Structure 1
């Protein structure tokens, strides 16, 4: 009666349905959708012993490509959602988090890995590089919502408070900008630690060329696509008039594919492409159509990955974890990232409470899984199972820690912002742009 295929179809249908309703149900309580599906995966693979082990080491290629697709789709969604035009001052929080917080996080975690875990330099840098970027996939509770289509709100991004904007824009760019350090770890594992063996190639190719190509090709792809979407001479291919949301997926793959073919960073290109498309006809309702499609697809992929991650944990992914790994994970989530973020934002746009929130909500997730899988397939890292255990521990801990705290903290900030704005301006219309 309850045969395998029918049970799988039922479970898949239930999971998709829950992915649609859970974000709305859990909006104001200290439980997040990632927490629910991670727990569901742990429960399912514990009870149903006939399910195959979702081992990321055994199924390395599947793990790498599944997480890769999920990340690039989420990057497109993050770029389309940002209302605020790109600018040095308007994006000052982003530049501070990328230029100061991420390098400080990388350095701090690398030293922790060397000191407490006793791994080699290459493995220490790899774990730090995989965990340094914040995640655009699992951080929906603390990121901006759908694109604004009101001209007054959108002109300067006034609908976005600094916390949600800072975390979204940071996650959109730092996923790609962490890649040079992943390549550095791979180089250290293959050619050794002598600078003469890796430094020239790393600087010229992995830093300058790959980042440059990501920025250039992302911008060019976004410009070309935005012309087709909004100002094509032929009415039949002016897609903004036809509400074709699935072309957001085409935009994602085009930007990513052409950039990767030319040895650029596809992650950077996808986000830049999305921001460039958004800059064209900024208040056009088509941006909401594109973003809605991407968001739904991202959510489905996230459900699959989280259930499989929960299954891997249930089947022993964290079996090798000891007190040292727990100490590193706790120090990273509670000390290294928050301290690096706090220092980076001193004197910036966010108020004191906002600064603390941005520093604390450095969610780790799908991108970390991708980076580790990619590097293990390219480099020479002994003890891959232990590295997977470490990354899995931090990601799972982040899902729980940030999932429990996101709704209460963000709701509290919203209420404070409205109260301050009402005291200052007499109403709450300018609340999102009011520092607290």
Structure 2
């Protein structure tokens, strides 16, 4: 059914209020608000309260904006000391665990969804292999999680989306007749590298400029706005040139946080609130999309595949990647 502006505000407002009201009850469980949002999206879509068009470009824009805000804020929270001395676990997670996860997910996908070709199974695996920074942000910022674990998850989830893109395109082209998969993969690797370069430049400019502004600098009220402005600008600059905007936003956050610690302190509350709003809405839309795309009709396969992907493939890959490590 079609909904107007007032209806949309009523739904979104109620969703945010319910999610916030239940956050205390679900505090001890990871991803609880995300799961709640997905469930509400499925229920309201199944009852025809909301209708989502999977081809609507606004949906892509919403999800992309949520990713930008999450990646940039997670980048700001990277600790300088950990960034300098703890690259070993991150390297193992990206270089070893990612390919192992991809292979395991492809095997599981081919077994559970027999209609898929091997190329399509590997395409599915390439899309699902990267850890989602919107999801892992719950773990990254949790006080009970050891700093080295949070640091590894933060860096790995921020970088692996861009690094997985060449594999996604490679298997996408491989699943179709013809096409130059290798050339497109190399192109995307170049975009990831240039996006990182843009992020470093924008982050350094934002961090250094913060110390030399006229009129006594930025007032405390607007420091969060200042930081997020550079995060959005990093994405935009990379996107309109030849870079990967998501990697640019993440690297800009890391660089700005290292260059100017005061920005990080002022940005924490602002970033958490803004990111939380977009995360709740994004997962709600995702739940509605499950119904809109018809995947709810084959739900038993998803019920089998999702736990295997989350509780078997990824943990097994991490265990294998960290064999003989300390």
Matches within 5 A, 1:86-101: 87=83, 89-101=85-97
1:318 maps to which of 268, 282, 295: 295
| Partner of residue 346, structure 1 | 323
1:101-129, CA deviations, whole angstroms, 9 ceiling, x for partnerless residues? 11111122223334543423443232112
In structure 2, C-alpha distance between the alignment counterparts of 1:31 and 1:338, rounded to whole Å? 17
In structure 1, C-alpha distance between the alignment counterparts of 2:269 and 2:278, rounded to whole Å? 15
Q: CA deviation at 1:247?
A: 2.6
1:118-169, CA deviations, whole angstroms, 9 ceiling, x for partnerless residues? 42344323211211111111234322259xxxxxxxxxxxx95333222222
Residue 119 (structure 1) aligned with residue 116 (structure 2): yes
Contact 1:259 1:265 in 2 (8 A): yes
In structure 2, C-alpha distance between the alignment counterparts of 1:181 and 1:15, rounded to whole Å? 36
TM-score when normalising by structure 2: 0.85
Q: CA deviation at 1:15?
A: 2.5
| Partner of residue 166, structure 1 | 152
Contact 2:169 2:181 in 1 (8 A): no
TM-score when normalising by structure 1: 0.66
2:223 alignment partner, SS class? coil
| Partner of residue 77, structure 2 | 81
Structure number with greater Rg is: 1
Q: CA deviation at 1:303?
A: 1.8
Structure 2 residues not aligned, in runs of 5+: none
Matches within 5 A, 1:147-226: 160-189=146-175, 192=178, 197-203=180-186, 205-207=187-189, 209-226=190-207
Change (3 A) 1:276 1:88: closer
Residue 278 (structure 1) aligned with residue 257 (structure 2): yes
In structure 1, C-alpha distance between the alignment counterparts of 2:93 and 2:293, rounded to whole Å? 35
Matches within 5 A, 1:241-260: 243-260=222-239
1:178 alignment partner, SS class? helix
2:127 maps to which of 125, 130, 146: 130
2:265 maps to which of 267, 284, 288: 288
Contact 1:121 1:188 in 2 (8 A): no
Greater helix fraction, Structure 1 or Structure 2: 2
Q: CA deviation at 1:175?
A: 2.1
1:24-81, CA deviations, whole angstroms, 9 ceiling, x for partnerless residues? 442125771112222222333344x3x342142x43x222222111111110111112
In structure 1, C-alpha distance between the alignment counterparts of 2:154 and 2:112, rounded to whole Å? 32
Change (3 A) 1:91 1:11: same
CA RMSD, 1 decimal: 2.9
Change (3 A) 1:276 1:339: same
Q: Which moved more, 1:167-176 or 1:220-229?
A: 167-176
Matches within 5 A, 1:335-374: 335-349=312-326
In structure 2, C-alpha distance between the alignment counterparts of 1:134 and 1:166, rounded to whole Å? 12
1:301 alignment partner, SS class? helix
In structure 2, C-alpha distance between the alignment counterparts of 1:317 and 1:99, rounded to whole Å? 35
